[in-house]
Amino acid sequence: MEFYDYFRSSASFRVRIGLNLKGLAPGRHFIHLTRDGGQQFGDAFSQLNPQQLVPVLVDGDTVLTQSLAILEYLDETHPEPPLLPKGPAGRARVRALALSIACDLHPINNLRVLFYLKDHMNQEEEARTAWYRHWVGKGLAAFEAMLGHGAPGGRFCHGDTPGLADICLVPQIFNAKRFDCPLDGYPTAMRAFDACMAHPAFDAAQPSKQPDAE
């Protein structure tokens, strides 16, 4: 397997955690994302992924994109340890938690959106930061409330083993810290975050520990 990654990408961070949990160590390729002239716009990478986004995982002839699709693929092809619980209700709970971040929070605060606000709507840094914190606050409040529903107990988001919900939560908390978002309103989510960061698969996946970190 070959993995196309960028240390600061939250979606790549998710896949790094998943690979570590599964004990997989693909070949690594670092795509330095910058706004203009970034490596994501190069011909070779664009052909691999027309969305010009990381992460990309190549497994034999199969080119995989979209972090959650990659993680589901890894879970189907390398079932141990599982990233989703066994029963359909538990699986739906964990997927809903993961999607609440991957759909309803993360894309709105993505770099290309922040650039649009700056370039086309003349929003200064202060307004962009307020935007960022607003959606982090909305998203984490929803996540915290959802954690209170149908929880089986345990240190992580769903029981005593980390899974897809934890994988989405952790990079989002890193983002929130980078933008100094207040985090004291989310005690259950932060407990799960702390449990994750004590786990070597999460720790080794964090941005500052990647070979391409600046």
| 151: contact with a copy of itself by CB under 8 A | no
Q: What are the distances in angstroms from CA 158 to CA 21, 27, 134, 167, 188?
A: 16, 31, 26, 12, 11
> Which of 72, 137, 161, 188 touches a copy of itself (CB under 8 A)?
72
Q: How does DSSP assign 96-159, residue by residue?
A: HHHHHHHTTTGGGGSHHHHHHHHHHH---HHHHHHHHHHHHHHHHHHHHHHHTSS---SSBTTB
Name the segment binding a copy of itself (CB under 8 A); options: 19-27, 114-122, 184-192, 193-201: 114-122
Two tokens at 56?
Answer: 């990309």
The Cα–Cα gap between 30 and 213 comes to 10
Nearer to a copy of itself, 121 or 200 (CB): 121
Using rule CB under 8 A, residue 195 touches a copy of itself = no
Q: Which is nearer to a copy of itself, 105 or 170 (CB)?
A: 105
Q: Which stretch binds a copy of itself (CB under 8 A): 36-44, 99-107, 155-163, 195-203?
A: 99-107
Backbone angles phi, psi at 50, to 5 degrees: -60, -20
| Interface residue list for a copy of itself (CB under 8 A) | 50-51, 53, 62-66, 68-70, 72-73, 76-77, 88-89, 91-93, 95-96, 99-100, 102-104, 106-108, 113, 116-117, 120-121, 123, 127, 130-131, 134, 142, 145-146, 148-150
